Amino acid sequence: MIHWLRSAVRRIVHGRLADVVVAILTLGYVRRWRTHPSWRPRGAQSGQRCILVIDDRIPFPWLGAGFPRSAELLRQLVAGGWHVTFLPTMHLAEDSAVILEHFPAEIDFIHNPADRTFASFFEEMTGGFDVVLISRPYNMQMFRDACDYVPRFLRNIHVVYDAEAFITEREAIRRKVKGIPWTDQEYRTALNEELKGIKGVDLIFTVNEHEKSLISPHTRARVQVLSHSAAAHPQPARPDCRKNLLFVGGATLTSDLSPNTDSLVWFIRDVLPILVPLLGDDLILQVAGRIESEEVAALAGPNVRLLGMVPDLTELYGQSRLFIAPTRFAAGIPLKVLEASAQGLPVVATPLIARQLGRTPGVDILVGETATEFADACRSLCTDDAAWISVRNAALTAVQRECDPGMFSTALLSALAALHPRRVTPQ
């Protein structure tokens, strides 16, 4: 609808003015500012099951950092008959027209102005939801702090925690990579602090079996693996018609803290100097994502192109010879690798990424732990068309087997359906 409306408006007005007109016309569909004492979800009176989803921000797919999975979760909730209200913890004003281009109009996106507290929202929302789903540990802590002030919000409601990434696990790997000491006591303290967030919840989603095994011993709640939805849409170009390497992801913090920044710095400084002599001076690494890291920006050059944000990656997937994931510390599931595989682009990654995905090195992914090993794996897929086709096909099979959208929807909706309603629906 929004695409049609924007097209119609642009027949009359042009440029940014068209976007302004569309935003005004669509304000009725996105209740960005609707929070007052009588607020209730639109489905609360009809008997429709209502869920409040809390995350950092509206999960536009191009943001990465787990947001593509969150976006699919919202869409599947609506398709499954839930009324969805989304409350961000960050104070951002988003464009209504852009929201409606990417999400169902049935979702209530609530604006979170800087002068509001979570507790004030929960005062207004008490009694309106069957389930609240919170993603990321710091958001869970904010939720619990707010509920200390408004304990009645927790009456007759199920609490679901989406463990999008196990932060303590990532920190342990980061410290090992960076050579930063972390005693067993410090690790246990950090682990216990993170696990405090799951105390008393009714359901926990994890993104893979490994993180499920870490969490399950510490909770009585059901722990359900909810990986990612990725439909296979392989781009048709043959390997001999492709060139260049592709990396997808933003780099904002320093390489000491950011997995993406560390990945790029390590690959460009340590791997690329080995790879260019093997493949030629015209080899180019293209980086799609917002770059705010001075370390990465300083590494742009003849063999490194920083493209900035690329909302639609389809063309890059179709042109590139190889996708790289030189990630040395991370948690959760590498969505960008799944999406590259779904587009038919073979991947060279670190052993960490292969383990997180449950992939088989040498079959549906190539791996390299050292710079030399990583460069050799890239050389293989850039020069051997038969190997390229074999890895591509095996990875596509893995995506179809593990990330089918129907499987994602079933896992999500069946787990929520098992939470028996507690809320009393007004007659």
Are 222 and 256 in the same domain?
Answer: no
Are 219 and 83 in the same domain?
Answer: yes
Within a domain: 174:
yes
Q: What is the percent of the chain where pLDDT is above 90?
A: 46
Within a domain: 56:
yes
Total domain count for the chain? Answer: 2
Cα angle for residues 169, 212, 421 (degrees, 5° grid): 125
User: Residue 29 has what pLDDT?
Assistant: 37
Are 244 and 114 in the same domain?
Answer: no
Rounded Cα distance, 329 and 144, in Å? 29
Are 278 and 200 in the same domain?
Answer: no
Cβ 259 vs Cβ 328: under 8 Å: yes
- The boundaries of the domain holding residue 335 are 239-403
Are 202 and 347 in the same domain?
Answer: no
User: Residue 114 has what pLDDT?
Assistant: 67
Are 351 and 385 in the same domain?
Answer: yes
User: Residue 173 has what pLDDT?
Assistant: 87
Are 186 and 250 in the same domain?
Answer: no
Q: How crowded is the C-beta side of 289, counted as CA atoms within 13 Å?
A: 23
Cβ 293 vs Cβ 262: under 8 Å: no
Question: Whole-model pTM?
Answer: 0.79
pLDDT tens-digit readout, 188-212: 888 888 888 788 899 999 888 888 8
Are 246 and 216 in the same domain?
Answer: no
Q: Which residues pair with 322 in a beta bridge?
A: 245
pLDDT tens-digit readout, 299-330: 999 999 999 988 889 999 999 999 999 999 88
Strands 108-109 and 131-135 turn out to be: unpaired
Within a domain: 338:
yes
Rounded Cα distance, 306 and 203, in Å? 41
pLDDT tens-digit readout, 33-67: 344 434 556 655 567 899 999 998 888 877 777 78
Within a domain: 298:
yes
- Taking phi over 0 as left and psi of -120 to 50 as alpha, with beta for the rest, 200 belongs to left
User: Residue 230 has what pLDDT?
Assistant: 82
Maximum Cα–Cα distance for the chain, whole Å? 74
Are 354 and 249 in the same domain?
Answer: yes
Q: What is the CATH number of the domain that holds 247?
A: 3.40.50.2000
Within a domain: 376:
yes
Within a domain: 100:
yes
Are 97 and 205 in the same domain?
Answer: yes
Rounded Cα distance, 300 and 268, in Å? 9
Within a domain: 360:
yes
Within a domain: 422:
no
Rounded Cα distance, 363 and 168, in Å? 30
Are 197 and 273 in the same domain?
Answer: no
Are 308 and 336 in the same domain?
Answer: yes
- Please tell me whether residue 256 adopts helix, strand or coil conformation: coil
